[in-house]
Structures are given as C-alpha cells and as structure tokens.
Amino acid sequence: MINIGVIGYGYWGPNIVRNFSSLEGAEVRSVCDMNLQSLNRVRKVYPHIQITQNCGDILDAPGIDAVAVITPVSSHYELAKRALLNGKHVFVEKPFTATIAQAEELIEIAARKKLTIMVDHTFIFTGAVRKIKRLIEEKSLGDLYYYDSVRVNLGLFQSDVNVVWDLAPHDFAVMDFLIDEKPAAVAACGKAHVNGLEDTAYITVQFNNNMIAHFNVNWLSPVKVRTTLIGGEKKMLVWNDLEADEKIKIYDKGVEVTNREGVYNLRVSYRSGDMHAPKVDQIEALKHETEYFLECITKGESPENDGHAGLRVVKLLDACNESMKRNGQMVSV
Ligand SMILES: NC(=O)c1ccc[n+]([C@@H]2O[C@H](COP(=O)([O-])OP(=O)(O)OC[C@H]3O[C@@H](n4cnc5c(N)ncnc54)[C@H](O)[C@@H]3O)[C@@H](O)[C@H]2O)c1
C-alpha cells in the first residue's frame, strides 16, 4: 500500500484526491490546504482523511510514501524539494517548476535518492492522444508537416502566471509525447489586457527538420476551443477534445506534386479521400495516470512524464517568455 499526502485542494486537487482514493494500491492519508474552506470540503466528502493547514504534517510525516503537489506553480519547487529530501516520491502539477534551474535540481535530487517524479501531463493519458501516438508511430500520417493547436476560453485568469504558462503546458506536453524530433527554437508574441500578465499569445515552434508548430492560447475568447490539427505527407487529422464521441477525425487528404518543371509549370494534384473517426478509450485520463504513478513507484521505473519531460516543457515556456520580452524574436531552446 502506498500512502499518499495531497497538498492543494483548490480547483484541480479534488480530481487528484478522488482518483488516488479509488485505487486499490493507494491510500490518501492526508490533505493539506492553507485555506480552511478547502479543508471543509475534504472533510465533507472524505471524513476519514486527515486534514491540515500545515504542509509539514505531510512533508515530514514518516508514514507518507508519496506527495502530490497540486498548488500554483510558484510553490511547486519548495514543496517538491522538501518531499524528495524526506525520501518521498512526488506527483507534481504542470508546469513542473517556475524555472529551468529548479527543475534540474529536483531531477538531480530524485535521481540521487532513487525516487520517482511524475509531472501531471494529463492529456498524454487520454484515449485520443494515445490513439494519435499509435497513428504517428505506424506512419499512417507519413512524415509530419505541421502541428497546430488552439486552446482558448474565457478565464480562468491566474494570479501567478501568464496564459502561456497556464495553458500551453498541455500542448507542449502532448507535442513532446507525440513527436520524437525536439524543438530547436521558439518565437512568441503576447499581450496583457487585464492584469499585467499576458492573456493572449501566439507561439511558433521551429524544428531542425521540416516540421513547424503553432499554438494559440487565450483567456479572452468568448468560446472554448480545444482543437489540434496534425498534418502529414499522407494523411491529416483533427483532434477536437470537446467532441463527445468523434474526438479524432483522420482525413485521407493531401497534395501531390505531379510536375516539377519550373515554378510556372508546377502542377499539384489534390487527394480528397474518406474521413474516418476511430474509436478512442473514454476512461478518465487521471485514472490511467494515477495508476501508472503507483506502477512506476512499485517497479522503480521512470515514467514517460518524468522530471525530464517536465523540464522540456519548462524550457519551452521559458523560451516563450524570453521571446515575448524581445517582441517575438526567435529564441533557441
Ligand atoms: N492537469 C490539469 O489538467 C490541470 C488543470 C488545472 C490546474 N492544474 C494545475 O494544478 C495546480 C493548481 O491549480 P488550481 O487551478 O487547482 O489552483 P487553485 O488556486 O484553485 O488551488 C490551489 C490550492 O492550493 C492551496 N495552496 C497554495 N499554496 C499552498 C501551500 N503552500 N500549502 C498548502 N496549500 C496551498 C490554495 O489554498 C488553493 O486551495 C496548478 O499548477 C495548475 O497548473 C492542472
């Protein structure tokens, strides 16, 4: 049995407590939140779980094997570091840390103490992303041309990070999981209209091969959009995460060059074949992810979404901030 302490029971924390509580091999022993109202919510649903306002009651407790850090990013490093130094495995929210140096230090401590770090890159555990991964590995799409994502909605404004650090970690984590080639450089433009932090941003990611990626993240959109297009030489797909059933649509569409004799004679033919919507696993991603966390601890294996994956995402986010400061200049990753 792995005894778990959860720190942070705001918007996302209840999902973490619910999922760990439902697993055979885990027991949520304690939940900590600075806010008393949050703790009252825990008490109502889980009267048997200890509650505390003092994170030391979890981080220093000998009976806790693993700590889930579900607080805003500004506190991830301090809480995760203390947990690791006390010999506890760590499940930490995205984005992993607020700086590259913090992520590197946590990775080093975990390696030295042979502990597991898992960064909550929830979307890589969805049926849709697992299916897309298989399609890319099987070369169904052919060589990839582009990755294009829109993640926009109204709010929720965060007080400690801009829209890039809030929403783009999801997309960067998915892209990192799906595409073997790693980004070479980033250009980002963003504007702050409301609270001094960028709430609207456009990000371009360059690769050393012919791939290009673009991300649109926005807290000021009147409608919620969660759509990713992935274009390949053979096929193209659309992943609409807001669709209940047909989350992925694969289009047998493409362009073939039929004559390359000079610019004016260049002829292309357009292929417009069938559309196919494969069935995808609808089980909650966090269920798979929390199960996988226990499995990695038990087997002593490093997760796909380990500290290094978290660090790759933080490097992209850091490059975005640097680029936004320099008015959209390209920044190497
Ligand atoms: N994986 C996902 O899909 C997903 C979704 C939403 C949020 N998140 C991440 O989860 C984290 C929390 O986000 P949220 O929206 O739940 O924030 P939130 O502000 O709603 O909740 C955070 C809670 O942590 C508590 N807290 C903060 N610092 C603390 C400390 N040092 N000790 C004890 N309690 C503390 C606060 O009182 C609050 O109740 C963020 O890193 C966010 O990026 C992930």
Distance between CA atoms of 167 and 321, rounded to whole angstroms? 14
Q: Which helix (H) or strand (E) holds 207?
A: strand 200-207
pLDDT at 117: 98
Q: Indicate whether residue 171 lines ligand 1 (CB < 6 A).
A: no
Q: Would you call 57 helix, strand, or coil by DSSP?
A: helix
Kindly give, in sequence order, each residue whose CB lies less than 8 Å from that of residue 187, ignoring residues fewer than 6 positions away.
203, 204, 206, 323, 328, 329, 330, 331
Cα 71 to middle of ligand 1, angstroms = 3
For residues 305 and 119, is the Cβ–Cβ distance under 8 A? yes
Nearest CA owner, ligand 1 atom 5:
12
Atom in ligand 1 nearest the alpha carbon of residue 10: 21
pLDDT at 263: 66
Cα 109 to middle of ligand 1, angstroms = 23
pLDDT at 40: 98
Nearest CA owner, ligand 1 atom 3:
122
Going by their DSSP bridges, the two strands 200-207 and 183-191 should be labelled as antiparallel
Distance between CA atoms of 298 and 320, rounded to whole angstroms? 37
Atom in ligand 1 nearest the alpha carbon of residue 35: 37
Burial 56-92 (b: 16+ CB within 10 A, else e): ebbbebeebbbbbbbbebebbbebbbbbbebebbbbb
Structure-token pair, residue 35: 């806010």
Which residue is listed with tokens 């998915």?
174
**Can you give the pTM of this predicted structure?**
0.97
Measured in whole angstroms, how far is the alpha carbon of residue 54 from the centre of its chain?
Answer: 28
Structure-token pair, residue 201: 């941003």
Nearest CA owner, ligand 1 atom 40:
72
CB atoms under 10 Å from CB of 135, counted, come to 18
Cα 331 to middle of ligand 1, angstroms = 30
> Over its length of 333 residues, how does the chain's per-residue pLDDT go in tens digits?
999 999 999 999 999 999 999 999 999 999 999 999 999 999 999 999 999 999 999 999 999 999 999 999 999 999 999 999 999 999 999 999 999 999 999 999 999 999 999 999 999 999 999 999 999 999 999 999 999 999 999 989 988 899 999 999 999 999 999 999 999 999 999 999 999 999 999 999 999 999 999 999 999 999 999 999 999 999 999 999 999 999 999 999 888 887 777 667 778 889 888 999 999 999 999 999 999 999 999 999 999 999 999 999 999 999 999 999 999 999 999
Cα 191 to middle of ligand 1, angstroms = 24
pLDDT at 105: 98
